[in-house]
Amino acid sequence: MVLQARHTDDPMLEHERECFVASTGLGRESFDWRNVVDGVPTVGDVRSCGALLIGGSGHFSVAHPSEDFFAPLADLLREVVDVDFPTFGSCFGYQLLVSALGGRVAHDEERGEVGSFDVELTADGRNDELFGDLPARFNAQMGHLDRAVELPAGVQNMARSELCPYQALRVKGRRIWASQFHPELDQASNLHRYRAYIERYDPSGGEEGFNSQPSPETSLLLPRFLTLVREGEV
């Protein structure tokens, strides 16, 4: 199952689906797409699938959770953690998990990361079954103006960047991971996403500030997650 939070007329709703299909190597028929704008699924709905992926947000912010779906979505994620259901959250999904579990997310444009950025694994990340397959330093695709400023208790910090000390997490002892960066995006798809939301990121409409670099290492993260889940290694 993939949870999304996007307006139905947002062209990135479909683009995000295409990116998850491409990055996981699964057929489109393998996915149960749920847009929480239209309703939050139950934990029973989630558990009818093999794993949960949490995607991006379009125009919504965990730092300003004013929409009606935020409270039931936070309840769902706490239930998912309680039952230890295999989950990976990307960007907005990362921030949702931080907030739902008692951490803090803030809007911080000065430390916003939009484009390609260098990320470094922490000691916990290097020793993790999932993130430990990445090199100690790697390039990752970003697109956020909100960031985690305090992690919840019981959550390990897997990675950091120069601007954001919290870049990835694992709920300790559970099959719950997330990253502030986008493992489902590559260089081309991140640039496409940036252009779609350019008024948010750069009202002048320019691309000069968008640092675009390949990120081959992170493209292996979601397939590795699904393999760990499928083979029962976590």
107 carries an active-site annotation? no
H runs (alpha helix) in the chain: 12-24, 43-47, 70-82, 92-100, 123-126, 187-196, 198-201, 221-230
Three-state SS for 91?
Answer: coil
Which candidate in 16, 144, 164, 182 is catalytic?
Answer: 182
Which candidate in 16, 19, 113, 184 is catalytic?
Answer: 184
Which candidate in 91, 113, 144, 164 is catalytic?
Answer: 91
SS (H, E, C) 40-75: CCCHHHHHCCCCEEECCCCCCCCCCCCCCCHHHHHH
Written as six digits, the tokens of 131 are 């993130």
184 carries an active-site annotation? yes
144 carries an active-site annotation? no
- Residue type for position 137: R
DSSP 8-state symbol, 92: H
Annotated catalytic sites, by residue? Answer: 91, 182, 184
